[in-house]
Amino acid sequence: MFSKACEYGIRASIYIALQSLESRRVSLKEIAEEINSPVAFTAKILQLLSKNNIVDSVKGAHGGFEISRTQIDKLKLSEIVNAIDGNTIYEGCGLGLKECNAEKPCPVHDKFVSIRNDLRQMLENTSLYEMTTGLEMGVTFLKR
Amino acid sequence: MFSKACEYGIRASIYIALQSLESRRVSLKEIAEEINSPVAFTAKILQLLSKNNIVDSVKGAHGGFEISRTQIDKLKLSEIVNAIDGNTIYEGCGLGLKECNAEKPCPVHDKFVSIRNDLRQMLENTSLYEMTTGLEMGVTFLKR
DNA sequence: TTTAAATCGGATAGTTTTGTCCTATTAATA
DNA sequence: TATTAATAGGACAAAACTATCCGATTTAAA
């Protein structure tokens, strides 16, 4: 579904949001440990997320990553996915045709439309905050 | 969504089915031209589909690929996808966790379940025959 | 002002996916 | 039986993705 980079990016964003809710700025090292991802690769992804204003980065000693409370509420899963993988999952033809639309559809165009719409709606309606809620209570998990 | 190999594999299967319905056995060269795919790479994918009994291959002069009428009716899109990409699209965690289920779910587990179920049902319910119907009348397309 | 802790960013390496090339094998037909 | 047209399959090459390493830069604090 998503690339590895995107999976790490989503998990990292959720972990940063969770800690930001408690006013804790977190380091790359801590993030990678808590989401069980390769440190240096995660660093690259966080750079990308920072450039796309998904997370805020603070350089220097006592630096790290954080997300403002307003952003945690506003940010949708779709924005994280878009920053890393683009919109090819819920745009673009299921059979890889460049030109595929209602006028010139591939043989499975209609079948894919509804599923991709559902996917897009889910991604656009799921907020970062929403994804943190189960974690605090130990109902959901970010590793293993 | 699918790998390139899978996209080519689906398009190839549909084209072979379409021609088989008119009792035409088709060559690799013709397939690659008609679905706009790299010839040698398509050859590998057809080998794989042949080994998985998705398509029948006939060696030697006047050889090529074909699919029996009964298979065209029976074969589901899911079987083609499974042969090439496996079941990772509608199994496996959206965030890449190895252990992710109703007991130990990732933060988006529930949101993904319904979408992946819809996807699986669509793949399992869509027959190869169904995918050929629009092509004959020029309503659907396999290239561009 | 020096040191230490952190991100940034470029270079590089490994792995997987995608794609190509060439030879062997098969089978129809002249 | 020789030729020709086709798939089969192994080896290789290119590109994309995943991952690592290291020096540069930034900033807090001793």
> By the 8 A CB rule, do B115 and A115 touch?
yes
Q: Is B30 left (phi over 0), alpha (psi -120 to 50) or beta?
A: alpha
Average pLDDT rounded to a whole number, residues B55-79:
98
From the CA of B70, how many Å to the C1' of C16?
A: 36
| Type of residue at B5 | A
Is A103 within 8 Å of chain B by CB? Answer: no
Decide if pLDDT at B90 tops 90. no
pLDDT of the residue at A48: 98
User: Furthest-apart CA pair in chain B: how many Å?
Assistant: 57
Is A122 within 8 Å of chain B by CB? Answer: yes
pLDDT of the residue at B82: 98
Decide if pLDDT at B144 tops 90. no
DSSP string, A24-57: --B-HHHHHHHHT--HHHHHHHHHHHHHTTSSEE
∠ CA A100-B37-B84, nearest 5°, is: 90
| Type of residue at A81 | V
CA–CA dist B133, B123 (Å, integer):
17
% of chain B surpassing 90 pLDDT: 96
Neighbours of B117 (CB within 10 A): 11
- Give the start-end residues of each E strand in chain A: 56-58, 64-66
CA–CA dist A114, B119 (Å, integer):
10
- The 10s digit of each residue's pLDDT in A11-40 is 999 999 999 999 999 999 999 999 999 999
Helix axes A77-85, A4-20, angle to 10 degrees: 140
- The 10s digit of each residue's pLDDT in B122-137 is 999 999 999 999 999 9
> By the 8 A CB rule, do A88 and A78 touch?
no
- The 10s digit of each residue's pLDDT in A45-61 is 999 999 999 999 999 99
Average pLDDT rounded to a whole number, residues B5-29:
98
Average pLDDT rounded to a whole number, residues A80-101:
95
Q: What is the mean pLDDT of chain B?
A: 97
Which nucleotides in chain C lie closer than 7 A to a protein CB? 4-10, 17-22, 25-29
From the CA of A114, how many Å to the C1' of D15?
A: 33
Contacts of B118 (CB under 8 A, 6+ apart): A114, A115, A118
From the CA of B41, how many Å to the C1' of C26?
A: 21
CA–CA dist A119, A127 (Å, integer):
14
Neighbours of B62 (CB within 10 A): 7
CA–CA dist A139, A135 (Å, integer):
6
> By the 8 A CB rule, do A6 and A35 touch?
no
Is B31 strand, coil or helix? helix
pLDDT of the residue at A140: 98
- The 10s digit of each residue's pLDDT in A114-141 is 999 999 999 999 999 999 999 999 999 9
Nearest C-alpha in B relative to A89: B1
> By the 8 A CB rule, do A65 and A47 touch?
no
Decide if pLDDT at B91 tops 90. no
